[in-house]
Structure 1
Amino acid sequence: MSNLKYFRILIILTTLIHQNLANSSTINCDFKKFGSAYQCVVKNVEIFKTKNTLTDAIGSHDGLKTNDDVSWIIISHGIINKFPAGIDKIFKNLEGIRITNMDLKSVNQEDLKAIKKLKFLNLSSNKITRIDANLFQFNPQLEHISLSNNEISHIDPQAFSGLKSLNQLFLRGNKCKNKLLLRSAEDKEQVRKLIRDIEAGNCE
């Protein structure tokens, strides 16, 4: 290989590395117990203004606990461009995610696909506009979903299909023209009825 070709390849690789680093970030956690849950409460939420991919978490763990013991992550009161990638690689046993008051505009199946143990998802008080079909296809253990106080004007009829464990679903404070859907369901019977109404009548 000529020196010129080698130099060009080196420049390309260096550029790609810098681009990845520019989009990657380390979160600073306040690790704490809350009941039976062990949480990471993100302290440096300002990083989400410019960073999209989480690569590591720092902070003082409680006793002998590690990132593998973290079952909840809480991100609140800041600005986030999109659902942060890499959460599942840092915290491999997540059961709960709370991203609130962060101006989050969307969430899709790929964002949640790798978080297999997810039971609790709170994305309230953001700017999400739509809930697509099979969004939660890879999260069958979900028990609680809160999407209240967003800007949702479209909910696919199959958005919540297959969630047999779901016993709480909150949709108040959104922009569906069908106001019947904008309610809270706080037990399995209410959830089943709300899901039937979603399947029968479009949000729009």
Structure 2
Amino acid sequence: MLLSFSRFLTLLLLSSSTTSYILHCTFRMSGWWDGPMFYECEDTVTIIKSKDERKITELNGTHLRGRTNDDVLSFYAYRMNIACFPKGLDTYFKNIQYLGIVNAKLKEIHQEDLKPFFKLKVLYLDSNDLEVLEENLFEFNTNLEVININSNKIKFVDVSVFRNLFKLNYLWFDYNNCYSNKVSNDFRGVRKMINEINENCFVNNILSDFRKFQEKELTSLKAEIEILRVENAKLRDENTELKINEAKCLNLRENLGKCEKEKENCENENGVCVKDLKNFADLTISRIKCEN
């Protein structure tokens, strides 16, 4: 979409600002959702230079003849860089029924963000960086018929998220971390898919899987500890035996000393010293084995 020179100049001036979150709207009749045409604000350019980057402080744009902000039923933002849902959108557009923030690097969405849009029928949040759908996210959006959360990074979904959405016929949840599927124009299929999302993405289920992993790891550690205990007992027994052998060797050395003093008795093959010397040799060999 081409910008006029005057609009381009406005953007250059705003880029040096430090206090404004300016919303630039192109008002038109549009139908990005498969349905009737509706009067829309397409947010084509957003300049964020504010302490509160979520707050809209100004709206620019020229309405079609005879139209006002109250006629705007759709807000569509595409290819921007807004990590958080912009506050104050409802201040300008109170009758939003079709809301799309697509490929905008959105990282979080909260109940308070969507609460003002109780007329909301269609919500597109695809191709963003969402990871969590928090508790009762759509509590105040019971008229929702279509939700598209494709191509995000969703890991956790609270079981209450889709609880009150009895008009929901379209749910697109493709290409997310914990689950990937979509259902179109099928209420029963949507309810079944929601159950599958809860089974795969519900926080308690994730925690349960983590506990199972912990228990498995604990069992493995207990087995390793038991093996170490047995090996330690074996080493303790071998160490005790080694000490006994050392005591015997010490006693034999004393006997050897006595034999050396009584050389004549030692030369006698039937003497006690020759026998003790043999035992001393055997025990010395045992000791070497123990030490090695």
The two structures share one fold, judged by TM-score above 0.5: yes
CA 1:23–1:82 in 2, change beyond 3 Å: closer, same or farther?
A: farther
Q: CA deviation digits over 1:33-72, x for unaligned, max 9?
A: 0243111011213x14753211342212111000110001
Residue identity opposite 2:25 in structure 1: C
- In structure 1, the gaps of 5 or more residues are 1-20
Instruction: Find the counterpart in structure 1 of residue 141 from structure 2.
Output: 139
Instruction: Find the counterpart in structure 2 of residue 25 from structure 1.
Output: 21
Q: CA deviation at 1:25?
A: 2.5
Residue identity opposite 1:73 in structure 2: F
Structure 2 counterpart SS, 1:43: strand
Q: CA deviation at 1:100?
A: 0.8
Q: CA deviation at 1:27?
A: 1.2
Q: How many residues align?
A: 179
Aligned pairs (5 A) from 1:120-135: 120-135=122-137
**Which of 83, 86, 100 is equivalent to 1:84?**
86
Partners of 2:20 and 2:48 within 8 A in 1: no
Q: CA deviation at 1:138?
A: 0.6
**Which of 61, 64, 81 is equivalent to 1:62?**
64
Instruction: Find the counterpart in structure 2 of residue 155 from structure 1.
Output: 157
State whether structure 2 residue 189 is matched by structure 1 residue 190. Answer: yes
Structure 2 counterpart SS, 1:44: strand
Instruction: Find the counterpart in structure 2 of residue 5 from structure 1.
Output: none
Which is greater in Rg? 2
Partners of 1:117 and 1:139 within 8 A in 2: yes
Q: CA deviation at 1:22?
A: 5.3
Partners of 1:158 and 1:199 within 8 A in 2: no
Partners of 2:157 and 2:198 within 8 A in 1: no
Q: Percent identity?
A: 35
Residue identity opposite 2:42 in structure 1: V
RMSD across aligned positions (CA): 1.8
Q: CA deviation at 1:197?
A: 2.2
Give, in whole Å, the separation in 2 of the partners of 1:22 and 1:142.
Answer: 37
Instruction: Find the counterpart in structure 1 of residue 110 from structure 2.
Output: 108
Partners of 1:157 and 1:200 within 8 A in 2: no
- In structure 2, the gaps of 5 or more residues are 1-16, 31-35, 207-292
Q: CA deviation digits over 1:124-183, x for unaligned, max 9?
A: 00000011121000110011111110010111122111100111111111101xxxx410
Which stretch shifts more, 163-172 or 57-66? Answer: 57-66
Give, in whole Å, the separation in 1 of the partners of 2:188 and 2:58.
Answer: 40
Partners of 1:48 and 1:79 within 8 A in 2: no
Structure 2 counterpart SS, 1:172: coil
Structure 2 counterpart SS, 1:189: helix
**Which of 94, 97, 121 is equivalent to 1:95?**
97
Residue identity opposite 1:39 in structure 2: E
Q: CA deviation at 1:200?
A: 4.1
Q: CA deviation at 1:202?
A: 3.5
Q: CA deviation at 1:201?
A: 4.3
Partners of 1:24 and 1:52 within 8 A in 2: no
Give, in whole Å, the separation in 2 of the partners of 1:82 and 1:36.
Answer: 28
State whether structure 2 residue 174 is matched by structure 1 residue 172. Answer: yes
Residue identity opposite 1:120 in structure 2: V
Structure with more of its chain in strand, by fraction: 1
CA 1:150–1:77 in 2, change beyond 3 Å: closer, same or farther?
A: same
